[in-house]
Amino acid sequence: MADDTGAGRVRVVGTGLIGASLGIALTRAGYDVVLHDPSPTASALARDLGAGRLASADDPEPDLVVVAAPPDVAGPVVAAELDRWPGAVVTDVASVKEAVAAAVAAAGADLTRYVGSHPMAGRERSGAMAARADLFEGRAWVVVPGASSAPAAVDLVRRVAEAVGSVVTVMAAAEHDAAVAVVSHVPQVAASLVAARLRDLSDDAVALAGQGLRDVTRIAASDARLWTQILAGNAAAVRSVLHEVRADLDDLLAALDALTGTDADAAPAPGALQVVARSITDGNTGQARIPGKHGGGPTSYASVVVVVPDRPGALASLLVDIGDAGVNLEDLRIDHGLGLPFGLAEVAVLPTAVEHLHTALAERGWRVHD
């Protein structure tokens, strides 16, 4: 790496969502980024989006190679890059770490220059067109050294992750895989299973969908090829969490059976309501532990719901009015009821700003929900 500011040469291999986002962020941070992808269209598209320049045969050796290829090929690609660039550090960003490290080791590569990693940032869309310059800002980035990784190699991967705004956590591969099974992989399964219930639902019933369903199912739009590889690559850890979920579901089902009397053999169990309530309160406890950005404590925002007419410029003028009221917008969601001539904008702000914003928007003629 050229200097302490982090500027240096990075080669990104695999220029889809993550590779292109990283290329854009590193280019903006002053790095010299070269891009390679077996799909020439994918690498040229990433270049067009500002992620770097195309790799060529006479490229000098990079300081760092970042392999952002699908999980099932990440190991062999890392090994090939370690062989090709004998002085470079190589990392990968695959969502599973033990399987990739095992594949790199099995290929007989130089493990002193390999450090696994995993940015906990992504989207439910694939490919460079979904790339975002700020994708990694304020997000955790797990750095996963192996037993043989050189400290200088670990340090380089850490610096690059920090250069794109991530907050670095160092973990062993097994610890990482167990953690992401709970915080990433099972949530994907849960979202997919819930969304699958909608497949055969009538249009009238689907039309009732509100924010709760949207919150729970955003990632059900994720890429099946990628997630099949992730779930297969972390099968042991994922199945163990799913067995725990199944035990909780069995308890809930037994309680609901008792409440509906559908289980002819079961006496209406005293305590059934308590089981139902506990399934919600246990979720409250878990949800409250989810940290905010930058690894800080959870931030609670309050929402103000505003009716936005379905006409060009209406949302823009709402945002202007929020700014004019001197209120900082923390988040914004639009709920657009099917066939309705308006949308509902859920404006997230600090709880202390709610009353003032409510009054200010009402004064400017907005219909604000109580």
Ligand X SMILES: O=C(O)C(=O)C[C@]1(C(=O)O)C=C[C@@H](O)C=C1
184 binds, among ligand NAD, ligand X, none (CB under 5 to 8 A by kind): ligand X
Q: In this structure, which long-range contacts are made by residues 99-104, counting pairs with CB atoms below 8 Å and at least 24 apart in sequence?
A: 99/71, 99/75, 99/233, 99/234, 100/71, 100/74, 100/75, 100/233, 101/75, 101/144, 101/146, 101/173, 102/75, 103/74, 103/75, 103/76, 103/78, 103/79, 104/75, 104/78, 104/79
Least distance (Å) between residue 15 CB and ligand NAD: 5
All residues at 6 or more sequence positions from 287 whose CB lies less than 8 Å from its CB, including other chains: none
Q: Which of 85, 86, 105, 89 is nearest to 97 (CA)?
A: 105
77 binds, among ligand X, ligand NAD, none (CB under 5 to 8 A by kind): ligand NAD
Q: Quick one: how far is CA 190 from the chain centroid? A: 15
Least distance (Å) between residue 139 CB and ligand X: 8
Least distance (Å) between residue 196 CB and ligand NAD: 20
Residue 122 sits in the site that holds ligand X (CB under 6 A): yes
For ligand NAD, what does the binding mask look like between residues 86 and 115, x meaning CB under 6 A? -------xxx--------------------
Binds ligand NAD by CB under 6 A, chosen from 1, 10, 12, 17:
17
For residue 125, the SS3 value is coil
Quick one: residue 261, left, alpha or beta (phi over 0 = left, psi -120 to 50 = alpha)?
left
Find the part of the chain contacting ligand X (CB under 6 A) among 50-58, 115-123, 243-251, 336-344.
115-123
Residue 124 sits in the site that holds ligand X (CB under 6 A): yes
Least distance (Å) between residue 120 CB and ligand NAD: 7
Binds ligand X by CB under 6 A, chosen from 123, 294, 356, 364:
123
Single-letter code of the amino acid located at 40? P
Least distance (Å) between residue 68 CB and ligand X: 11
Least distance (Å) between residue 20 CB and ligand X: 15
Least distance (Å) between residue 188 CB and ligand X: 7
Angle, in degrees to the nearest 10, between helices 235-260 and 173-180: 30
Residue 15 sits in the site that holds ligand NAD (CB under 6 A): yes
**Cβ–Cβ under 8 Å, residues 126 and 21:** no
Binds ligand X by CB under 6 A, chosen from 27, 43, 95, 149:
95
Any bridge partners for residue 306, and if so which? 345, 368
14 binds, among ligand X, ligand NAD, none (CB under 5 to 8 A by kind): ligand NAD
Residue 59 sits in the site that holds ligand X (CB under 6 A): no
Pairwise CA distance, residues 84 & 13, whole Å? 13
Residue 168 sits in the site that holds ligand X (CB under 6 A): no
DSSP string covering 293-348, please?
GGG------EEEEEEEESSTTHHHHHHHHHHHTT----EEEEE--TT-SEEEEEEE
Least distance (Å) between residue 58 CB and ligand X: 34
Residue 119 sits in the site that holds ligand NAD (CB under 6 A): yes
Residues binding ligand NAD (CB under 6 A)? 13-19, 37-39, 42, 68-71, 73-74, 77, 93-95, 119, 122-123, 126-127, 226, 230
Residues binding ligand X (CB under 6 A)? 95, 120-124, 184, 219
